[in-house]
Amino acid sequence: MQHDTIIVLDYGSQYSQLITRRVRDANVYCELLPWDTPAAEALALNPRGIILSGGPNSVYDPGAPTLPDYVVASGLPVLGICYGMQLLSHTLGGRVAGSTEHEYGPAGLVIDDPGSPLFAGWEAPDGRAAQVWMSHGDKVQALPPGFHAVAHSGNSPFAAAADPTRDYYAVQFHPEVAHTPQGRLLLSNFVHRICGCAPDWTPANFIDEQTAAIREQVGDGRVVLGLSGGLDSAVAAALIHRAVGDQLTCIFVDTGMMRAGEPLNIVRSFQQEQGIRLIAVNAIEEYLAALAGVVDPEQKRRVIGEKFVRIFEREARALGRVEFLAQGTIYPDIIESAGKGRGEARVIKTHHNVGGLPADMDFKLVEPLRALFKDEVRRLGIALGLPDSIIWRQPFPGPGLAVRCLGEITWERLERLRRADAIFIEELGRAELLREGTQQAFAVLLPVKSVGVMGDFRTYKEVIALRAVTTEDFMTADWARLPYDVLAEASRRIVNEVEGVNRVVFDITSKPPGTIEWE
């Protein structure tokens, strides 16, 4: 099925991915392309409309990104956002005023043309201006021929403009961010009312199409997939299983570095509940032996990555002839690697750890989630009936507890960490802070001992650090302002219940300068 498609040309705004996600939230398929994508490649997607993103440039900068000729020549509806608006205006004969000052923050938007389809359904509460989010330096000073003002703000006489005969629309503010509360409606108006796209990008449609596509690709061949316990590989497995059933075999390697209860949970969910063929490899001793004496964080990662590849290879070979390797690669992985050099061969996602397979294991890749953002993967997982423990699992690093067990890794120290972590997570869950209050929370075992007193005895034991962060994208993060009583209860229980720990500290470092993990 060919979906009605919108393309977003990326001019470098930090919000470009967000525009794409918002369009998809309106159930319309959307792709993000670098602004200089060759015309043939962009038009091959058969778009029904084009959105020009914001970006850091001024249209007057030497070498500033330009509007590709095909955008106007195609006759398609266009929505320019911020830099996209300035670029559209500049190219079509308007005038942009350069400015060294940056307008950043909320602004009140007054709609001058209430009949414009762009603002259909917008409400201005109590007759006041509607809130929008501005982040720009330059602004449009004179509109191109054919355009008229649709809305203004205190600082921008042309906060929104349109040439409805050509279906050209432009906004100075950012409809894609949450600080523009009615921005989703604006984007939905553009794609549905103006471009005429059908709302057919839904999990149910996706499941039907992908199961058909997987069947066609795989035929009667066999597929192997490495389950990590994370959302992406779990959803890929469930989808492929729905398509080809027992032709899929999953390999799950228990490294001993997972959190309390996780290995069992994975085996139960996939093997017993979903009936997926699953090979669960207990590799704990192998990992402990390989990690003995290793304290350097990067060395830990290397050892764990290499070990995974060797075990995966061994188990996959034991299956006999398998042509296909399935992976939970998702859209952001593809956008990121495309950004690093278009046309280059894409590297297999390294945290799936199968990038180092020997050349004679030349699998063909099955990547059914390549087009999806994380929140779409989650919605798909829900539609496929995966359990909450997988759907809402917080991100967990590939090397697992190895990078949270600072210093030397021994089974005893891993167990100590696992118990402390489980208590912390349990207390956060009890306080209903796991989904909203923090996006990632965990315990870290420090390689230092401190003195304490328990009863009448002096103790000399290890320290647990608790880490909890709030973040949107994990690129930056702040430490979560957890309630004191939750911290107090977690601390009390850890010191009382976890052998070998007599002190608990809470990490109050944001990222940057810290990272989320300690190693």
CB of 345 to ligand XMP, least distance (A): 21
Residue 82 annotated among the catalytic residues of the structure = yes
Residue 398 is a binding residue for ligand XMP (CB under 6 A) = yes
CB of 269 to ligand XMP, least distance (A): 20
Shorter beta-carbon distance to ligand XMP: residue 186 or 402: 402
- Select which of 3, 152, 174, 192 is catalytic: 174
Shorter beta-carbon distance to ligand XMP: residue 67 or 311: 311
Residue 184 is a binding residue for ligand XMP (CB under 6 A) = no
Residue 511 is a binding residue for ligand XMP (CB under 6 A) = yes
Shorter beta-carbon distance to ligand XMP: residue 24 or 352: 352
Burial per residue of 266-280, b for 16 or more beta-carbon CB atoms within 10 angstroms, e otherwise: bbebbbeebebbbbb
CA distance linking residue 378 with residue 395, whole number of Å = 13
- The tokens describing 211, both together, are 């199961």
Which residue in 461, 425, 458, 418 sits closest to 441, CA to CA? 425
Residue 355 is a binding residue for ligand XMP (CB under 6 A) = no
Q: Work out the burial of residue 470: count CB atoms within 10 Å of its CB; fewer than 13 is exposed, 13-18 middle, 19 or more buried.
A: middle
Cross-strand bridge partners of residue 148: 162
Residue 440 is a binding residue for ligand XMP (CB under 6 A) = yes
Residue 275 is a binding residue for ligand XMP (CB under 6 A) = no
Shorter beta-carbon distance to ligand XMP: residue 74 or 394: 394
Residue 176 annotated among the catalytic residues of the structure = yes
Q: Work out the burial of residue 375: count CB atoms within 10 Å of its CB; fewer than 13 is exposed, 13-18 middle, 19 or more buried.
A: exposed
If DSSP states are collapsed to H, E and C, what string results for 151-212? EECCCCCCCEEEECCCCEEEECCCCCCCCCCCHHHHHHHHHHHHCCCCCCCCHHHHHHHHHH
- The tokens describing 328, both together, are 């939970």
Host H or E run for residue 280: strand 277-282
CB of 254 to ligand XMP, least distance (A): 17
Asked whether the beta carbons of 46 and 88 are under 8 A apart, the reply is: no
CB of 494 to ligand XMP, least distance (A): 21
Residue 474 is a binding residue for ligand XMP (CB under 6 A) = yes
Place of tokens 């021994």: 410
Shorter beta-carbon distance to ligand XMP: residue 324 or 396: 396
Shorter beta-carbon distance to ligand XMP: residue 137 or 397: 397
| CB-CB neighbours of 220 under 10 Å | 7
Q: Which of 168, 399, 418, 503 binds ligand XMP (CB under 6 A)?
A: 399
CB of 467 to ligand XMP, least distance (A): 10
Q: Which of residues 191-250 bind ligand XMP (CB under 6 A)?
A: none
Q: Which of 268, 310, 351, 370 binds ligand XMP (CB under 6 A)?
A: 351
Q: 420: Cβ–Cβ under 8 A, 6 or more apart, which residues?
A: 443, 445, 464, 494, 498, 501, 504
Residue 328 is a binding residue for ligand XMP (CB under 6 A) = no
| # chain residues binding ligand XMP, by CB under 6 A | 12
Residues making contact with ligand XMP (CB under 6 A): 301, 351, 395, 397-399, 440, 474, 511, 515-517
Residues with catalytic function: 82, 174, 176
